[in-house]
Amino acid sequence: MDLNKLLEFKYTPEINEKLVDYGFTKTFAEGDIILNENAYIKAIPIVMSGSIRVMRTDDDDREILLYYIKAGESCIMSFLGGIHQDTSKVKAIAEEATEILFIPIDKVNLLIKDYPEWLDYIFRLYHKRFEELLDVVNAIAFKKLDERLLDFIKKKCSINNNKTLIITHESIANELGTARVVVSRLLKQMEQEGLVVLGRNKIILN
């Protein structure tokens, strides 16, 4: 396994070797729950292929999408949670078939000590997540649902590099933290405006 192209930090063969050596790989199918809220964290995950979506859930089962984790990235919340022996505050779900390399927490600390690039990688990811979270705050606080919905569709499409989304109104509603009827209503509107074409389980972006 060669992490060179995946991870964004400067490659050294040693780090690669160490990571593969220390870690273990697991695969997940679409929809599998990788990390549950309040679960204890013993290893931090690096996405090797596929992608993950990270959700925040409310007390009464309402959820909202925070961000996606793509190949080469790590769930940085797990990382910090792991370091501080904390439980997870978020839920992670496989968006598609996904392969994950888990690095046990104690090994992570070893790596930090020995390889500054590794630390830099972690900081960079942290920064990225933080900004994405700020964007979420912005969206919920200041944007209306129709705009958020359109953004959502576009983002999903860009992940698959595809104009056609296979998804139900129901699950869109869940990810945006609203109700199914609301999504249906807005989508119908968008269809009339010519922004999308709708079908059962299907949305085509124009």
Partner DNA sequence: TTAAAACGGTAACATATGTCACATATTGAT
Partner DNA sequence: ATCAATATGTGACATATGTTACCGTTTTAA
Distance of CA 182 to CAs 73, 179, 190, Å?
33, 5, 12
d(CA 125, CA 75): 9
Q: Smaller CB distance to a second copy: residue 17 or 120?
A: 120
Chain centroid, CA 116 distance in Å: 25
Shortest Cβ 200–DNA spacing (Å): 5
70 interacts with a second copy by CB under 8 A: no
Shortest Cβ 160–a second copy spacing (Å): 25
What percent of the chain is helix, strand and coil (3-state, nearest 5)? 45, 25, 30
Nearest to 120 by CA among 42, 15, 13: 15
156 interacts with DNA by CB under 7 A: no
Q: Smaller CB distance to DNA: residue 87 or 201?
A: 201
Sole residue written with tokens 């060179």: 4
Q: Smaller CB distance to DNA: residue 53 or 148?
A: 148
Helices 116-142/105-114 angle, 10° precision: 120
Nearest to 132 by CA among 103, 90, 187, 165: 90
200 interacts with DNA by CB under 7 A: yes
Shortest Cβ 164–a second copy spacing (Å): 28
Residue 144 binds what, of DNA, a second copy, none (CB under 5 to 8 Å, by partner type)? DNA
87 interacts with DNA by CB under 7 A: no
Which window, 23-31, 115-123, 150-158, 194-202, contacts a second copy (CB under 8 A)? 115-123
68 interacts with a second copy by CB under 8 A: no
